Amino acid sequence: MTFFPAAEHARVMSESLHLAVRTVHVLGMAVLLGGAGLVWLAARQRIASITALARTYEWLFWGAFGVLVATGIGNLGALGAPGPATRWGQVVLVKLSLVALFVVASAVRTLAVARIGDTAPVAVATWHERAYGATALSLLGLVALAEVLAHG
Amino acid sequence: MAENADWTASERQQPLTVWTLSTVNTVGFVLALLIPSYASGGLSDVLPTLGTALGLGVFAFLWLVVWATTRWLLDRVDPTTDSLSRLVLWAGAFGSLDGIIFVLGIVIALVVPTALVTSLDLLSVALIAAIGVPIAAAVGAVVGITALSLDLVLLRASDGVTPRDGSRQQ
């Protein structure tokens, strides 16, 4: 039988929690990006229930987005983030500023989706195609910045 | 709908609108604190000392409180027809309520258990709450009015991009 000292036990617990937070952060982004891509593809295919699909995505989007922000701050604390004067710090600031802009643009998109009727004419499908295409591209940009941060 | 571009009461109160605005306000509040704090260099030393689980719990609690108050607020005001003074009054009142519930929740969840296992007496806890509540109410009022301003901009902007018929798409 192996006994861990209390300090070692606390370190293992802390590392497990940080790993879980990072995993949830990545899964949150997978929901956002995968969902946006799916709705964009469905809009291109002109499926009849595109607005219902988009609404379901919007519910998931904001839930996952809140989790992403919370776990993102958790990651920042766990990593012991370098100061803002470093290159890493500058990239974090750019990423946070882009996230703030993305929140505003996404809110406008969701509030518009909340008002569209269930009957979807071709114009609505075109609108969804543009909106979710732009969302997916923006998310890809944020993922690219996250990659830069992850690899120093 | 095509003739009347304003948000109707049922649209404002629909769960997706409430869910969206409350999450935007919560995330916006956190980012508004985080970005300047990090840019000034004050956060690098503080963040690692805060517990991850505690931070996630506080965020979840804030999110829940903002969702509830956003829902109550949109039941009582109409951003498209109410006067600016009425909107500011209600937003300030609900922002204060937000701040008070948040501080009392933190006191009950964190300070009271600490007082029960340490030498911190309950009178000190009451004193912390008595000082914290008015400050939280004042800060909450300012945050509430700022959040309402952002929400109004978002509602108006979404109104401009919502597809209603073929002619609106061009």
**Residue A19: both structure tokens together:** 């790993």
Q: Which residues 6+ apart lie within 8 Å of A72 measured at CB?
A: A25
Contact status of B57 with chain A (Cβ, < 8 Å): no
For residue B1, the model assigns a pLDDT of: 39
Q: Which chain A residue has the Cα nearest residue B161?
A: A112
Q: For the CA atoms of chain B, what is the radius of gyration?
A: 19
**Residue A116: both structure tokens together:** 């569209």
Residue among A116, A135, A146 at smallest CA distance from A34: A135
Q: What angle do CA B156, B158, B161 make, to 5 degrees?
A: 115
pLDDT digits (tens, 9 = 90+) for A58-101: 999 999 999 999 999 888 877 777 888 889 889 999 999 999 99
pLDDT digits (tens, 9 = 90+) for A6-39: 677 767 777 788 889 999 999 999 999 999 999 9
Torsion B99-B88-B9-A111 (CA) sign:
negative
Residue B121 burial (CB count, 10 A): 10
Q: What confidence tier does A3 reach under pLDDT thresholds 50, 70, 90?
A: low
d(CA A142, CA A105): 14
Contact status of B158 with chain A (Cβ, < 8 Å): yes
Q: Tell me the residue type at B143.
A: V
Residue in the block written with tokens 């959040």? B147
Chains A, B: CB contacts within 8 A come to 138
Closest partner residue to A66 among B11, B27, B166, by Cβ?
Answer: B27
With 0.95 as the threshold, say if the pTM is over it.
no
Residues of chain B contacting A121 with CB distance shorter than 8 Å: 165-166
Q: Do A62 and B20 touch (CB under 8 A)?
A: yes
Residue A82's SS3 state is coil
pLDDT in tens, chain B (170 residues): 334 456 666 666 689 999 999 999 999 999 999 999 989 887 777 777 777 888 899 999 999 999 999 999 998 998 888 899 999 999 999 999 999 999 999 888 877 777 777 777 778 778 888 899 999 999 999 999 999 999 999 999 998 888 876 444 43
For residue A98, give how far its alpha carbon lies from the nearest alpha carbon of chain B (Å): 11
For residue B135, the model assigns a pLDDT of: 96
Residue in the block written with tokens 């590392």? A15
How would you classify residue A83: left for phi > 0, otherwise alpha for psi between -120 and 50, otherwise beta? beta
d(CA B152, CA A125): 27
